[in-house]
Structure 1
Amino acid sequence: MSAVPSSSAQAAREALAGRLKEIRRDARLTGHELAVRCGWHKAKSSRIENARTAPSDDDIRAWCTACGAEDQAADLIAANRAVESMYVQWRRLHRKKTLRQIQESRVPLHERTRLFRVYSSDVVPGFLQTEGYATAVLQSVASLRELRDDIPEAVAARLARARVLREGGHRFVMLVEEAVLRYQMGDKETMAGQLEHLLSVMSLPSVSLGVIPSRGRRPIWAVETFSVYDDEQVFVELLTARVTVTAPGEVRDYLKTFDGLRQRAVYGGRARALIASAIEALA
């Protein structure tokens, strides 16, 4: 397996590799001697120690046994699994969970989060989606990833998550690009219903919805859709994978980026005017 394409995950992978290397050195074994004891090619030891190959649970157990450090295996395996959860390919995730289960898996995180920050460049954030719009989105996802999930159940689970909008103790700061208002998901009636729903939820005291106008000064880099949960972790949705960022420095980078985007957004009456214009365009 190649290096994990996320700097947070790769840093964690390198830290794990460093611990395994220290265990080997403490046992006074060379990479070749370790490989002989484990029954694999010596190049494998080098690839693991240099974080070029992700070790399996069995690899870690064999490594620790060969070095007389069996008591450290459990902690190392747990650390290795944590790294795997930082960068998860959607296809791999869908082999384990249905779309409904993926929607439900976020519920505990949503219930304990107090401040949500969401930036979306392509679709209306899940918390704000109507049944028709969510159906169109999840149908598109299922088609792209060749899934045969029960879409109605997944939609129901997504809508159920939105209850936190009306529960006490949660605040939502959401930013969408103006283009999100123009990208039609489903038929015109579905899209119009979604836009009207946005006008409605804007009145909720827990919600701050900003729209970033298409015209105006833009950042020189592309910003992917992401969500920040309190100041602790970030979920980034890529085309092929979900990335979880927990490294404090990287979380700060996302928070800084979010603040920059928030300054470009319009709110209140100006945001409502953009939404109303998108509704008129559908007619």
Structure 2
Amino acid sequence: MPLGTTPSGGMTLPPNSTSGSSNVHEARDALGKRLRELRQAADMSGRQLAESLSWPPSKVSKLENGRQTPTDDDIRKWATVTGSAGEAEALLASLHTLEVQHAEWQRILRTGLKPHQQELISWDQRTRLFRAFEATVIPGLLQTPEYARARFAEGIRRLKLPNDINEAVAGRARRQEILYRPDKRFHFVLTEAALRFRLCTPDVMIGQLDRLVSLSQLPNVRLGIIDFETQYATSPWHGFWIYDNERVLVETLSAELDLRQPQEIELYGSAFEQLAAVASYGRAARAIINRVIEDLVPDASEDSS
């Protein structure tokens, strides 16, 4: 998984995915085209604009062609130099919408892991129906502290983040209290691969799988497992979370996609229903989990000896 700092913890998106990644690129391109229009309306070449702002010419090209996301300061300076100060607020609104859709981990987590956990709690509180699909990891709300620690440690290593792992693990544990609220409903669908990937030691994984068995029996939690022999109706490209019918979160290696357009939510809702339809539930799901536990026991015994 990329990080495990969001609830999703999914795979990177495929190159031709029709998910929100394409919309993010379109939004960045549209912002770049608008910046180019303002420059051309001011009868300035890219080089002239760059020189007036003491920028390298390549920066102007990257911004106009959607290969680099501008900062607030970039937008304000561009609007001022091109005599378009009145356009600044509209441009900033477009930029901030883009930043919400595509938030890079280095920016989200620059102050550590704990603040992002707190932000997720606020969404948890107002959501009534959670739908989550995971192809490679155990969802954050279902993780044991030991499994969560392994996921956070991976993110800290990869992105060289401030190490507040103890606070982050405690924050995730507090988030999990929501599972016991009767006014909330949860529908999780996992692949068998998510149960078998060695993302932690065998003994930690066994504890994690035991927890899945226990949580699957909560009255407001529906846990589905898609075993290896299942014929898929839709490809399990990556993990995602759907919050009611308001928001979809997708986690990639570099960023978190926050999708809120109705057509995107409908697309992911349809994909979730197709994945859920081929999953096993109840005793059948627990049988798959217990089979994986049995396969792990010999390795756990070796580690402890």
TM-score of the two chains, using structure 1 as the length reference: 0.84
SS in structure 2 of the partner of residue 227 of structure 1: strand
Give the 3 Å change call, closer, same or farther, for CA 46–173 of structure 1 in structure 2.
same
8 Å CA contact retained: 2:42, 2:83: no
1:106 alignment counterpart? 120
SS in structure 1 of the partner of residue 218 of structure 2: coil
1:32 alignment counterpart? 45
2:78 is the alignment partner of 1:63: yes
1:205 and 1:122 mapped to 2: Cα distance?
25
| Partner of residue 251 from structure 1, selected from 258, 262, 265 | 265
Q: Decide which moves more: 44-53 or 123-132.
A: 44-53
2:215 is the alignment partner of 1:209: no
Q: CA deviation at 1:24?
A: 5.5
Question: What is the correspondence of 1:129-278 to structure 2 with a 5 Å cutoff?
Answer: 129-147=143-161, 149-218=163-232, 221-278=235-292
SS in structure 2 of the partner of residue 106 of structure 1: helix
8 Å CA contact retained: 2:39, 2:45: no
TM-score of the two chains, using structure 2 as the length reference: 0.78
SS in structure 2 of the partner of residue 54 of structure 1: coil
| Partner of residue 128 from structure 1, selected from 118, 124, 142 | 142
Structure scoring higher RCO (CA < 8 A, sep ≥ 6) equals 2
Q: Which amino acid is the alignment partner of residue 83 of structure 1?
A: L
2:256 and 2:121 mapped to 1: Cα distance?
17
Q: Which amino acid is the alignment partner of residue 93 of structure 2?
A: A
Q: CA deviation at 1:45?
A: 5.2
Specify every segment of 5 or more residues in structure 2 that has no aligned partner in the other structure, as ranges.
1-19, 298-305
2:280 and 2:272 mapped to 1: Cα distance?
14
Q: How many residues align?
A: 276
Q: CA deviation at 1:257?
A: 1.4
Q: CA deviation at 1:252?
A: 2.2
Q: CA deviation at 1:39?
A: 6.3
Give the 3 Å change call, closer, same or farther, for CA 47–144 of structure 1 in structure 2.
closer
Aligned-residue CA RMSD in angstroms?
A: 2.8
Q: Deviations over 1:194-234 (max 9, x none)?
A: 22211221122221110011112136745111111122222
2:300 alignment counterpart? none
8 Å CA contact retained: 1:31, 1:46: no
1:71 and 1:145 mapped to 2: Cα distance?
38
Q: Which amino acid is the alignment partner of residue 230 of structure 2?
A: G
Specify every segment of 5 or more residues in structure 1 that has no aligned partner in the other structure, as ranges.
none
8 Å CA contact retained: 1:8, 1:246: no
8 Å CA contact retained: 2:134, 2:240: yes
Give the 3 Å change call, closer, same or farther, for CA 182–48 of structure 1 in structure 2.
closer
Identity percentage over the alignment?
Answer: 36
| Partner of residue 51 from structure 1, selected from 66, 69, 82 | 66
8 Å CA contact retained: 1:116, 1:171: yes
